[in-house]
Each structure stands twice: as structure tokens, then as C-alpha cells.
A and B are shown apart, each in its own frame.
Chain A
Amino acid sequence: MTRQIPFRQALREAMSEEMERDERVFLMGEEVGAYQGAYKVSQGMLERFGERRVVDTPIAETGFAGVGVGAAMVGLRPIIEFMTFNFSLVAFDQLVNNAAKLRLMSGGQFTLPIVFRGPGGAAHQLGAQHSQCTEPFYCNIPGLKVVMPSNPRDAKGLLKSAIRDDNPVIFIESEMLYGTKGEVPEEEYAIPLGRADVVRPGTDLTIVAWSKMQHLVALALPALEAEGIDAEVIDPRTLRPLDEETILASVRKTNRLLIVEEGWAACGVGAHIAWLAQSRAFDHLDAPIARVTSEEVPMPFAANLEKAVLPSVEKVLAAARRVLGRPAQGASGGARPGTHRSGASRSGG
């Protein structure tokens, strides 16, 4: 049996079910309890589980992220909520130097079963400090796993796996997706980390996108279909460890690759996927790999500028046509995809 529920409810069910089945799991973060969650993800959980297991914190990310790491070291399984992943940067040392490294530094004597979760990326006009993608930072770190679900079903199944995983997992959601509904099974299930989902099979072009970029790609699909382009759409779901084989198998089939990501281009996750494809499927590629990313600027506030920075349906369509060697159509709506105006190239030119 399935039913339609919002993303935030799927997350809440995952946490609540895991807290029911495992006494060691607890939720900690700013506003998770009495306020019912800054984005209402944890609504009702304080009432259900009490103050011992749904722990409100002061605004002290370094402090409570560190508390989570210490608690995980001695066998608890914390879920640490960041109100947004922008605030995780205040706790970066705890995630990168402690959570990711303690297992190796101790020669495997400690496990770190901890989940850091919360929304990432841009919402509407939140300004530069609240509108950025942190997944490239965390994907760069051995010892961490990074998960970014795009729909309620995946969100629930992946969060359950993340909570059960014995490693630190960075679980990045999206403010823009919390209200989106999707089919979620009634019965118990979990989705393994590290496995991509082939959202739409196709033959002409592989499009890799995650989190809310999946929704952008979905919006672009009708136009692609109208142009006779049969795209295969892949949602990696877990960015580290990446399901390399699913992506490579698709590229070997379609011979063309487009990566759509909300983050910046330089050293982004898509740069890694492009490297992967050229190093292991070079002979299968019929065209240069394309990427649609955000423009290389801290996010400006003005609505029109924000729109110009972010990936758009138009940018996705233009990039898809380019990979397929088709002529560009009409106005591309702002900045041209693929022409990343990096500081380096500007100063060099």
C-alpha cells in the first residue's frame, strides 16, 4: 500500500520509526522540540518521545555537533539537525576533523553512527549566507557519507538507512522540497545508501541530477520529448559513496552526459562525475560532457539576480541540445550554461 505524504512527514516517519526500534537514537538541534522544528520536520516528536530524546539546543552548532560526535563514539546514535546546512559550517571542524577521522585515527577502535541532517541549497531570496550548496565540501572528505534525496519515498528509506549506518552521514534536504508530496509505502522499508535510481530510462542522453535539481529536470523533460530527445534520468541519491556503475552503464548506453547541480561549478560534485565518466567511459562519449550549475557568485538577494544564478529549465534544455549537437533555440534566459565565469578565468583574461 502507498499513500501520498509530504517530504517532511516522510523524514519524521523515518526518525520516529528508528527511535521506536532503537533506544540509542535521539534527535538534537535548534528548535527541534518545543518549536516543533524550524521547518516542522520534527513536529510532534517531543510529545511522543520526551525531552530526553528530542533535545532542544542553544544556538551552538560547534557545541551540539561535538556532543553528537562524543555520544556516537560511545555507542549512541545521534541525529543532529542543522537548521540549515549553512550553519554546519560553524561546526565544520566537528564534522571533518572529528566525525570523519576518529575511526581511522583510532585504528578502527571507534565507530561513529551519527547523522547530520537539515536543508541545504537556495530557497527564495535568502541571501548569500543562507543560499549555498555544501555537498561539495562534504563529498570531498573520506570517512563521510553524503545523501541527498529528491522525493519523499527516497527521503524516508534513505534516512532510515542513514540512521542505521555505522558511519557519519551528511543528509542534506531542501527547504523547497519539504512540502512536496509523493508516494510512500505504508509498510516498513529502507533504501540502501550508495545506490542510484534510474528515474527514467532513455537512449539519447544521460542526465544526472539530485535533490531539487531532479524536479528541474522533470520540468524540462516534456520539452526534450517534444524535440524527440529520449533522456535517461539518474538520481544518484547518495553522492558519497557514489553509485559509479549505474552512471557509467548509462553513459555507455547513451554516449552523452549532462550533469545538473545547484552548486558552483569549480570543484563541484559534477566535476567529479565528469572525471569519472571520462576516465572510465572515454571511448563511449560522443560529445563533451556538459554541466549546468549555479553561476560563480555568492547568491545575490534580488529575485531576478537569484534566478539568473540558479540552474533553470532553459539552461537544462540548452545544455541538453548542446550535448546532442543540436542548434540552440531562442533565448536561453540569462547567463549561458557552460560558460562559468570563474574568478580565475576572469582575472586571467
Chain B
Amino acid sequence: MDKALVLGLYRDMLEIRRFEEVAQRCYAEGLIGGFLHLYIGQEGVAVGAISAAEPADYIVATYREHGHYLARTHDLRGAMAELFGRATGCSKGRGGSMHLFRAEQRFLGGHAIVGGHVPLAAGVAFASKYRSEKDVTLCFFGDGSANMGAFHEGLCLASLWKLPVVFICENNLYAMGTPLYKTLAVEDVSTRALGYPMARETVNGDDVMEVREAVRVAVRRAREESLPTLLEAKTYRFRGHSISDPGKYRSKEELEFWKQRDPISTLASRILGLGMATEAMLKDLDAEVRREVEDAVTFARESPEPDPDTLYDYVYAEDKGGEP
């Protein structure tokens, strides 16, 4: 394993983990309002997948997208300020936790209607193909999306039109609070790929390297053959569906079982085992990441709220009166 690569992936996951832990604290302190869907436990998927894409490849994600946003942009300040609803947020305080956007880095949200962004992602890939550009679109969603009509229609069209898109299902075993066996008639979401059809694979989402390798293959298939893939990453979220969900529908034993597979601590063990770093080095790294996250909090706290005079900004693009 490439040491710089592995340490980089480790740091990316840690950045997301620490960011969200602090976001949870800020929420409890009343500094953040609205919904807050934490990604803690699933970091291996976003980091592994996005590391396998080129910077010009598009990313379309769900409302549980802090991890994906940070994996692509590392914009801790813009993300935290957005959670705080500040003018300096990455969506200028108009989006919030569920709607993080950064056009210049091709991060296309942040979508909060389950499954609704799947055809949209197919459309982004359609545009790449239309323009004969080689960019690939990565579309993330949860197992809950797999039962939505929009999911089926998006995959149906992606296969029919051979669109360069990688659909990545983060199967965390619960659609909100309802376990998978009550919501899904197939064991693996990736089975659904058979009917469209498209290439498929199910991987261990808690192994960042395994996710990375699978996405690398799928991205190459999209870029070189203009073909879609349905990837399923089995993972687990350690927190509730949202901040208001204590997750009582899950046993302590179940949670403990999955925490043994924590993508961050398992990778730390591998790093130490392979002698890529010492415990002291990982501790220093953690301290550095924590400092950066605290800096983001300070930035968010000190940032102004959006100016009420700008309330009507961004509703419509400028009217050109029929002129090109």
C-alpha cells in the first residue's frame, strides 16, 4: 500500500469525523438549527469513492453529505458556516446542512428528497456525454432510495443511454429507523442492477481501500466505455438518522459489532501494523485536524448572518428580456 495515499485517506476520514463530532456539540449548544444528519461510521465510503475520482468528476449526494463535501473540498469553514446559517457558508446560508454546494469543485449538492437526485445525476452524466467530455458523475444515496421510483427511472435511463455515471448505494442497514429486512425484498441493493441492466458490485464500505478500488474500476468503465455501474457499499451509521433520533431501534450489541469495523480505527490499526506511522504521529495528526475544525467553528461563529436585504437574491437568474 502506498503510504502517502493511505495516510491521506486516513486524514480525510478523520477530518469528517472530527467535523461532525464538533457539529453535534454545536447543535447541542444551540448554534446550529434544523436537521443534522451525521455520517459518523460511514466515512470510508465517501473518502474511498471520491479519492478514486478525478477533481473534474461531478459529485451528487444526499442530505447526509458533510462527508462527501469535505472529501471533495476540504472546505471546513464553508461547511461549518453553512451549518450555522451564515453568509459565508458554502451555500451563502441558503442551503444548510442538507444542501451544501460548491460549483467550482463540481460538488452538486446536497439533495433532501430521497431518490430525487438520482435522475438529476444521470442528467449531469448525460451532459458530459452530449458534449463529448470525459468527466464521470458519482451519485451517492442510501438504501432507502433503492425503493423510490426516481431511483429506478434514473438507473433505467443511465443504462438505456449508456451514461458515464457511478451510482453508489451506501447501505447502512436502516432506512431512517426501519431495518432493511422490512424495506427491501432483496438482500443486496446491487441485485437491482440486473434488471436495467448494468455492472454491479457489493463491497465492504468500512474498508476505504476496498471502496476506492471498486470505484476506480467503475469510474474507468464510465470514462472509457461510457457505461454506468451500481455499487453497493455495506456500512453502518453510528448515530441516529438525524440528531433527534437516539436510535433505540438498534441493540447495544449490534452497535458494538459495527464499531469494531469503524473505518477509521481499523485503518489506524493497519497503519500502525504496517509501520506507516507511530501512535504519536497519529495523535499529532488528530490534534492538527481538531485545530482546523475549531478554526472552522470560530470562523462560523464570527461570520455575519445573511443580510435580510438579500432575501430575494438567487430566486431567479437575471432576466435578459428575451435577449441571448
Contacts and interface: CB of A to CB of B under 8 A. Distances in A.
Given A57-B157, A94-B116, A167-B316, A70 B121 contact: yes
Nearest to A189: B322
B95 A105 contact: yes
Given A102-B109, A107-B92, A164-B324, A66 B118 contact: yes
Nearest to A107: B92
Interface stretch (B32-40, B148-156, B211-219): B148-156
Contacts of B253: none
B287 interface: no
B322 to A, nearest CB: 4
A64 B157 contact: yes
B314 interface: yes
Contact of B123 (A60, A69, A190, A192): A69
A142 B315 contact: yes
A113 B128 CA distance: 16
A255 B24 CA distance: 60
A62 B150 contact: yes
A281 interface: no
Contacts of B320: 164-166
Interface residues of B, number: 52
Interface in B74-122: 89-95, 99, 101-103, 108-111, 113, 116-122
Nearest to B87: A107
Interface in B272-324: 313-324
A98 B122 CA distance: 14
B127 interface: yes
Nearest to B110: A105
Given A67-B126, A76-B130, A106 B94 contact: yes
A145 B322 CA distance: 13
B150 A73 contact: no
Contact of A63 (B119, B315, B324): B119
B237 to A, nearest CB: 24
A297 to B, nearest CB: 29
A98 B116 contact: yes
A111 B103 CA distance: 11
B132 to A, nearest CB: 10
Contacts of A21: 324
B166 interface: no
Given A97-B113, A110-B101, A68 B316 contact: no
Contacts of B321: 161, 192-193
A215 interface: no
B255 interface: no
A289 interface: no
Given A66-B150, A68-B123, A105 B99 contact: yes
Nearest to B324: A164
A191 B321 CA distance: 8
Interface centre among B103, B120, B318 (most CB of A within 10 A): B120
A73 B157 contact: no
Interface of A: 21-22, 26, 52, 57-58, 60, 62-76, 93-94, 97-98, 102-113, 142-143, 145, 157, 160-161, 164-167, 190-194
12 contacts: A52-B130, A57-B157, A67-B157, A69-B123, A74-B108, A76-B127, A94-B150, A103-B316, A105-B101, A107-B314, A164-B322, A194-B319
Which 6 pairs across A and B sit closest by C-beta, in order of nearness? A70-B123, A66-B119, A63-B153, A107-B92, A161-B322, A166-B317
